[in-house]
Amino acid sequence: MLDAVNVSTAARGGPVVVAGAGYGGLHVALRLTARLRNKPAVELTLVDRHDYHQVITELPRVAGGTRAAGAVRIPLQGMLAERVRFVQAEINGFDLAGRRLLTGAGPVGWGRLVLALGSRPNDFAIPGLAERALSVYSASDAERVWAAVSKALDDATAAAAGPGRQRRLATVVVGGGGATGVELAGELAEVLPEVARSRGLAPDWPAVWLVEAGPTLLAGSSPQLIAKATRILADLGVQVRTHAVVAAATADGFRLTDGKLVEGGVFVWAGGVKAPDLVMGSGLPTGHNGRVKVDQYLRVLDHPDIYAAGDLASVTDPRTGHVLPPLAQVALEEGETVARNLDAELNGRPLEAFTFHDKGFVVSVGTRRGVADIAGITTGGRLAHLLKDAIEWEYRQSVTHLRGWDPVAR
Ligand SMILES: Cc1cc2nc3c(=O)[nH]c(=O)nc-3n(C[C@H](O)[C@H](O)[C@H](O)COP(=O)(O)OP(=O)(O)OC[C@H]3O[C@@H](n4cnc5c(N)ncnc54)[C@H](O)[C@@H]3O)c2cc1C
């Protein structure tokens, strides 16, 4: 949909700076590279703390020890054309009036800024959670989960205090039954029996608990999808507890609001996300969970020189009235619109309102099975897992080989 807006601000020059090389930011950088082919004077800068892009959707496999962390880190150097100036630096703040990012490598001035800094785990200020629970938000996080699980099984093997303690040490408790929690619990439940066997432990000693505050796993999904995912998890031996609100994390487990303790040796929190603290204290307009409020063109409210995309952006779907969920699929589509709108500004064309085209929902449950809702059809089993593999393969191809090649770039 094309809407006419006042594009007088578009004429302002200065570099286009993209903050964050995740799903949203990398997509903007790659698309703009193609679209700015005939505009050598426009500077395009990408800033990230890492010199690699992380395929976050594959992190549950790293956390389950079935994929190396290095395999989900794709070096940016291989993807970015010379046209893009890459600055590897930590972004520490914003000088909104001076239009500068404040980074560890010095200030980076913008004419237009794209904010795509993703999100952080939200511990909802639950006592003990930040100190005792791991998370899975980066390749390093996922590596830490696998290291902790491996160590817990080693400790369980070495423990001489009897099977009760050994079983507790070998138990992983995952908090949060959304897609991340389900994928992680499924992956671990599938691999842990074999790992236990290899250490001389009984294969049924490692247990995986999945603790969810709401009435169902995968809240917001179709009842059919939830039922299929729940069945596969049960088949894998995952102990699911719904209506289980975590009140505190202790050294022995997650203490629930009903007083019960879900004991384990390793604790992982996948109970939700929030915007990075950096954004929350920036003076930018923020909404629920600190996500940045944007207009229909994905420009930050009252800041027409700043766009936001991905988990960081609070984008309401006009058809449902709900804020879009933090998903890679959403980040990529928002990145597409931001790239088009930056290009439109540079060419004096009207901006395009963002519309989300839902391609469906796919979740892996274990290393061989999954569930999917696509075009109103729900599938569960091997096919859904293959679909997830295919989506990830296609994504890797799109960023590494096609490098954001854009058939409609003008
Ligand atoms: C385990 C897991 C599995 C998931 N699986 C799926 C899935 O199957 N399908 C799906 O659609 N979604 C999935 N998601 C959600 C998806 O990964 C996110 O929605 C997506 O990554 C958001 O993209 P983004 O560009 O907003 O942020 P990100 O991809 O997180 O990128 C943010 C970038 O900003 C950089 N950055 C952040 N802060 C700073 C700073 N201060 N200084 C410098 N650089 C900084 C980071 O290094 C990173 O490169 C999953 C998420 C998790 C955690």
What pLDDT, in 10s, does the model give residues 368-387? 999 999 999 999 999 999 99
Task: Please say whether the beta carbons of 371 and 61 come within 8 A.
Answer: no
Instruction: Name the pLDDT band for 5 (thresholds 50, 70, 90).
Output: very low
pLDDT > 90: percent of the chain: 82
For range 205-216, the mean pLDDT:
96
Whether the CB of 76 sits within 6 Å of ligand 1: no
Whether 120 and 22 have beta carbons less than 8 Å apart is answered as: no
Is 46:21 a contact under the CB 8 Å cutoff?
yes
Rounded mean pLDDT of the chain?
Answer: 92
Whether 57 is in the pocket of ligand 1, judged by its Cβ within 6 Å, is yes
Give yes or no for residue 395 having a pLDDT over 70. Answer: yes
Please give the model's pTM, rounded to 2 decimal places: 0.93
Q: What is the mean pLDDT of residues 122-144?
A: 96
**401 or 4, higher pLDDT:** 401
Residue 116 corresponds to which tokens in the numbers above?
């795509």
CB 260 within 8 A of CB 112: no
114 Cβ below 6 A of ligand 1: no
Best residue for ligand 1 mutational test, from 26, 28, 90, 117 (most atoms within 8 Å of Cβ) = 117
Q: What is the pLDDT of residues 219-268, one digit of tens each?
A: 999 999 999 999 999 999 999 999 999 999 999 899 999 999 999 999 99
Atom 6 of ligand 1, residue of closest alpha carbon: 57
Question: With b meaning 16 or more CB within 10 Å and e meaning fewer, what string describes 79-104?
Answer: bbeebbebbbbebeebebeebbbbbe
Taking residues 59-66, report their average pLDDT. 96
Tokens of 66: 């079935």
Round to whole Å and give the CA distance between 98 and 87.
19
Backbone angles phi, psi at 403, to 5 degrees: 45, 45
DSSP structure class, residue 206: -
Residue pointed to by tokens 């150097």: 77
Residue type for 316, please?
T
Q: Is 65 in the pocket of ligand 1 (CB under 6 A)?
A: no
**Ligand 1 atom at shortest distance from the alpha carbon of 270:** 53
Residue 407, C-beta contacts closer than 8 angstroms, at least 6 positions apart: none
pLDDT of residue 166: 84
- Report whether pLDDT(8) > 70: no
Asked if residue 175 lies in contact with residue 168, where contact means CB atoms within 8 angstroms, the answer is no
Give the model's pLDDT for residue 78. 85
Cβ–ligand 1 distance for 310 under 6 Å, the answer yes
pLDDT at 69 over 50: yes
Ligand 1 in contact with 311 (CB < 6 A)?
Answer: yes
Distances (CA, A) of 119 to 188, 357, 410: 24, 22, 33
- The alpha carbon of residue 92 and the mean position of all alpha carbons in its chain are separated, in whole angstroms, by 21
H runs (alpha helix) in 199-238: 223-236
- Tell me the per-residue pLDDT of 350-373, one tens digit each, with 9 for 90 and over: 999 999 999 999 999 999 999 999
CA angle 75, 76, 78 (to 5 degrees): 80
**Alpha-carbon span 137 to 115, nearest angstrom:** 18
Cβ–Cβ < 8 Å for 116, 312: yes
pLDDT at 163 exceeding the cut of 80: no
| Closest atom of ligand 1 relative to the 388 alpha carbon | 8
Residue 51 Cα to ligand 1 midpoint, Å, equals 15
Q: What is the pLDDT of residue 161?
A: 64
User: pLDDT band for position 24 (50/70/90)?
Assistant: very high
Which ligand 1 atom sits closest to the C-alpha of 25? 25
Task: Give the span between the Cα atoms of 348 and 7, in whole angstroms.
Answer: 7
Return the percentage of the chain with pLDDT > 70, whole number. 94
pLDDT(280) > 80: yes
Burial class (CB within 10 angstroms; exposed 0-12, middle 13-18, buried 19+) of 407: exposed
* C-alpha of residue 326 to centroid of ligand 1, in Å: 9
Q: Which residue has the higher pLDDT, 298 or 83?
A: 298
Atom of ligand 1 nearest to the CA of 50: 47
- Say which residue, 336 or 12, is predicted with more confidence: 336
| 139 Cβ inside 6 Å of ligand 1 | no
**Distance of alpha carbon 19 from alpha carbon 87, whole angstroms:** 10
Q: Does the Cβ of 335 fall within 6 Å of ligand 1?
A: no
**Mean pLDDT of all residues in 82-92:** 95
8 A C-beta contact, residue 300 and residue 285: yes
